[in-house]
Amino acid sequence: MWDQAADYKNVREIRVKTTTYLGVGAIDKIDDILAQLKSEGITSILCVCGGRSYKITGAWDKVEAAAQKHGVTLALYNRVTPNPTTDSVDEAAALGRSVNAGAVLAIGGGSPIDCGKSAAILLANPGKTGDDLYCFRFTPQAALPIIAINLTHGTGSEVNRFAVATVTKLNYKPAIAYDCIYPRFAIDDPALMTGLSPDQTRYVSIDAVNHVVEAATTTVTNPFAISLAAETIRLVHQWLPAALADPCDLKARYQLCYAAMQAGVAFDNGLLHFTHALEHPLSAVSPDLSHGLGLAVLLPAVILECYPARPDVLAHILAPLAPGLKGLPEEAPQAAKAVEQWLASVGVPQKLEDIGVTATDVDKFCDLVEQTPSLGLLISVAPVEGTRERVARIYNNSLKPMA
């Protein structure tokens, strides 16, 4: 369906950059990775983590053992919170400078990985701060080598050039994208993810679904992103219920991990648009809001707006969640409602009002969408014009369940 409408005269760039180790036991590859870095003269590494998961998953034990074996010093920054801030980026970079770090190892989900990527830029650009980076006061061309040990099946940050952080003083949560922050190596080990709570399991998997819905429908997408989108949604639809039923089901975790990795590559190729642009202000203002939950409450309304412009693509990739779509523009309400019902079926029925947002807040969030650096770029590649009226309509249509 979608391929019949593809513009074969439109030249697209296709990106696949990071060397990723995927599978149960992939954490053992950290030994080879540190040996490689040591052979290149890197003897000190900044490790960026959250407060607990790097330890309780067992990842840190493997990293410490490999570092001791190869004579590499580790400097641990373990204060990254969900929705990391530029303050955390500055603190991590300061620790890295104090030990003359030659590389950055991030262990965790999207927050530690994004913080680690950002610190890697600052360490290669002396005198710059996190605010400089996220307020776009300079354009980095270099960063220290980055290794990402991913502990969630959702972020995609371990395989792409993106990072986000909240500018503490302004409640802005912009995104950056630079070639210098592709991780050199990534580890996706499903055995490290069995401790995710049911809600974490839901939210990170929904993050992956959002990545591909947006990536497949931008004005700059390519066939690779669309193919990855269809497979990502198929895998999440099939395996998320299994992981919720049995958190230790390694086959289910593997498939969700693979889906999320594909989703990370998909949005590296196709970029993102409305759902992420409108969610970033929500989690900047409410740092305790899970990114995946924020995306979930917005997704059906985004599909309602975008489906008429990309009915062929969305009918194709949404088929597991919304079977029977024919790729007709008038199916938009049917597609949006089906996705909302799927979200509820996996335990995420919440809407904006359930997380404390009311109709009186919509103007404030529209302002933040307009004012936050980088979000205008995301909206500029949406398949429909990103007017303030449309942004407000998405927020308003996300306040309550669809009729």
Q: Cα(335)–Cα(314) distance, rounded to whole angstroms?
A: 9
- Global pTM reads 0.95
- Residue 1's pLDDT is 59
Note whether 256 and 153 are within 8 A (CB).
yes
85 pLDDT exceeds 80? yes
- Check pLDDT > 80 for residue 254: yes
Tokens of 348: 């995420």
| Contact call for residues 146 and 184 (beta carbons, < 8 A) | yes
Model confidence over 98-152: pLDDT tens digits?
999 999 999 999 999 999 999 999 999 999 999 999 999 999 999 999 999 999 9
Which token pair is 391? 């942004």
Residue pair 260/204 in contact by the 8 Å Cβ criterion = yes
In 216-353, alpha helices (H): 223-245, 250-270, 274-285, 291-306, 311-317, 332-345
pLDDT of residue 3: 74
**pLDDT tens, position by position, 331-389:** 999 999 999 999 999 999 999 999 999 999 999 999 999 999 999 999 999 999 999 99
d(CA 190, CA 58): 12
**DSSP structure string for 5-73:** H--TTS--------EEEESTTGGGGHHHHHHHHHHTT--EEEEEE-SSHHHHTSHHHHHHHHHHHHT-E
Q: Is the pLDDT of residue 12 over 80?
A: no
Q: Give dist(CA 280, CA 295) in Å, integer.
A: 9
Contact indicator for 252, 147 with CB cutoff of 8 Å: no
CB burial string 165-203: b at 16+ within 10 A, e below: bbbbebbbbbbbbbebbbbbbbbbbbbbbbebeeebbbb
Residue corresponding to tokens 């991913």: 150
Average pLDDT over the chain, rounded to an integer: 96
DSSP-derived letter for residue 347 is T
Q: 387: left (phi > 0), else alpha (psi -120 to 50), else beta?
A: beta
Name the band, by pLDDT with cuts 50, 70 and 90, for residue 403. Answer: confident
